[in-house]
Structure 1
Amino acid sequence: MSGLRYVYAVCRPFGTPLPAQLTGVAGVPPKQLVHGDLVAVVGQVPAEDFAEGPLRAHLEDLDWLGATARAHQNVIDALTVVTSPLPLRLATVFRDDSGVRSMLEEREETFLRTLDRLDGRVEWGVKVYSEPTEDAGKAEAAEGSGARPASPPGRAAGSGRDYLRQRRNQRKESEEKWERAEEFSRRLHESLSGYAEDTRIHAPQNSALSRAPGRNILNAAYLVPRTESEAFVELVDRTKDDAPGLRVELTGPWAAYSFSGEDA
């Protein structure tokens, strides 16, 4: 192989071949580089894109970054079907095979320990959102602008006391809704944790960045044995009907990014 070596993941040796049509970053099919008890799944990438200088510039290009991340994820997803990979950071690049082998030797003990912990397990993600309501959206917009709600047609504007009472009632309803949502999320997390060997609570997603409607209350990852995954998914599906005004989203199964000890 010529060019630089892009490393997707580290695995135990696995016998099941990856799909013949699978391509990764730069449109190149991934290959296995076996070194002792470990396998690095690698691809060839051009130095003009992945050497230190060009790569730094590319990481500021959101279109390039998105395409590279999707190609990276395609390989990780294919690996997750046949083994339990330890995914590495996006754009982990070495000069040649020798550099990859040196990395495997230096981190062998950590890799083997982590792979033992991840073997036969996958990551599931669960998010809970408080669904936005039309009235709440209008109230928030009015409060943010400093404007008072308009009076109904044909009715004189209420007194300042009426306005304050209305705002107190709105805040109380919002607080009660939030408390119910937090309690639901807490109980759901406790129930799901019963199927998981490990969990991670991530920071709530910013709706302006994620573009997901509603307010994110729970953003959790669960390390679940494959043998328990069906029951885990069924529990999430049953719970969706018990959450009026809330939206429960399930993603996965993924490689165990949140539990790999590697940077995202």
Structure 2
Amino acid sequence: MTDRGPEQGTAGSALYVFAVCRQPDPSALTGLPGVATGEALRRLRFGELTAIVQTVRAADFTDDAWQARMADRGELERYARAHHDVVAAVAASCPTVPLPMATLYHGEERARQALLDETERFRTVLRRITDHSEWGVKVYAAEAAASEPARTRLGTPARDSLPTPGAGLAYLERKRGAQVRRDRRHEDSLRLAETVDAAFRGLAVAGRRLRLHAPEPTGTSCIQVLNATYLVAEGRAAELEPLTRALRESTGARVDISGPWAPYSFVGGVE
């Protein structure tokens, strides 16, 4: 959240800022509802740049209201989609710097001054992303079935029965073997992630590795080993599909690619 303080309270309106760009196509915003019903999206000029903004009710974006919305998956998805739709529409018409959801200012003058203070950063990002798009890459490896042998079920022992000679040693050997196999799978997953990441970084101008997603209860036996995003020049975008197919064939892994997207991941520093 931005430009929030106790003096603002919850009365009146606030200005929601979606993105910053140079010269957006006015028709790009046609028909988009934004995040506030009945309020038109509009352009706010500051210096040589333009922000895409919308007037919203300040009470809808207090810390408490926003935290409640974040906890409601349906509401969160609705706002995220509305925010993304605006950013994507503007990005389709010109290079665009997406701003985080719920970037708010109390009044146009406060917004204009705050954005003017960030002008040099916006210029730097716009130079970086012009004629580039963001692409997502997710890699999944097959998870081996549990390899530890099932324990032998024993019947009721006779009074004078003795443990099978070497049973304890065999059990320890099985445990050690299972650990070795887990370590090997982990190392294989790391190598797979590095191989795919290096291949896409060779094509992209920048990349970011993101937090891996937890396995979903879908009944599949695949685990995610790489979740990354890459900034790719438009002139090289046609190389992405052939590269993806080649990596699938050479590694045997599931490699999913998505995009092009507005460059959300590359509006700060790059790696």
Report deviation, 1:235.
0.7
Match in the other structure for 1:260? 267
Report deviation, 1:23.
2.3
Which of 139, 149, 160 is 1:128 aligned to?
Answer: 139
Q: Is the 8 A contact 1:16 1:82 kept in 2?
A: no
Compared with structure 1, are the counterparts of its residues 201 and 56 closer, same or farther at alpha carbon in structure 2 (3 Å cutoff)? closer
Structure 2: which amino acid aligns with 1:151? T
Match in the other structure for 1:217? 225
Q: Is 1:72–2:83 an aligned residue pair?
A: yes
Compared with structure 1, are the counterparts of its residues 102 and 223 closer, same or farther at alpha carbon in structure 2 (3 Å cutoff)? same
Structure 1: which amino acid aligns with 2:151? A
1:128-167 matched pairs, under 5 angstroms: 128-135=139-146, 149-151=150-152, 159-167=167-175
Report deviation, 1:60.
4.3
Structure 2: which amino acid aligns with 1:253? P
Q: Is the 8 A contact 2:211 2:227 kept in 1?
A: yes
Judge which range, 167-176 or 52-61, deviates more. 52-61
Q: Is 1:250–2:257 an aligned residue pair?
A: yes
Match in the other structure for 2:110? 99
Which of 232, 237, 249 is 1:241 aligned to?
Answer: 249
Structure 1: which amino acid aligns with 2:101? L
Structure 1: which amino acid aligns with 2:150? P
Please tell me the root mean square deviation across aligned C-alpha atoms, in Å: 3.2
- Structure-1 separation of matches of 2:117 and 2:102: 19
Which of 7, 21, 25 is 1:11 aligned to?
Answer: 21
- Structure-1 separation of matches of 2:95 and 2:153: 61
> Per-residue CA shift, 1:129-155, capped at 9, x if unaligned?
23234436xx5xxxxxxxx8333899x
Residues matched between the structures, number: 248
Identity rate, percent:
29
- Structure-2 separation of matches of 1:82 and 1:153: 72
Q: Is the 8 A contact 1:84 1:122 kept in 2?
A: no
- Structure-1 separation of matches of 2:50 and 2:221: 41
- Structure-1 separation of matches of 2:87 and 2:254: 28
Q: SS at 1:196's partner residue? A: coil
Match in the other structure for 2:208? 200
Report deviation, 1:25.
1.0
- Structure-2 separation of matches of 1:107 and 1:119: 18
Q: Is 1:181–2:189 an aligned residue pair?
A: yes
Report deviation, 1:193.
1.0
Could you tell me which runs of 5 or more consecutive residues in structure 2 were left unpaired when the two chains were aligned.
Answer: 1-11, 156-162
Length-normalised TM-score, structure 2? 0.78
Which of 4, 19, 30 is 1:20 aligned to?
Answer: 30
Compared with structure 1, are the counterparts of its residues 116 and 174 closer, same or farther at alpha carbon in structure 2 (3 Å cutoff)? same
Report deviation, 1:71.
1.2
Q: Is the 8 A contact 1:126 1:249 kept in 2?
A: yes
- Structure-1 separation of matches of 2:116 and 2:17: 15
- Structure-2 separation of matches of 1:95 and 1:164: 66
Q: Is the 8 A contact 1:38 1:104 kept in 2?
A: no
Structure 2: which amino acid aligns with 1:202? L
Q: Is the 8 A contact 2:29 2:41 kept in 1?
A: no
Q: Is the 8 A contact 1:40 1:100 kept in 2?
A: no
Q: SS at 1:26's partner residue? A: coil
Structure 2: which amino acid aligns with 1:229? A
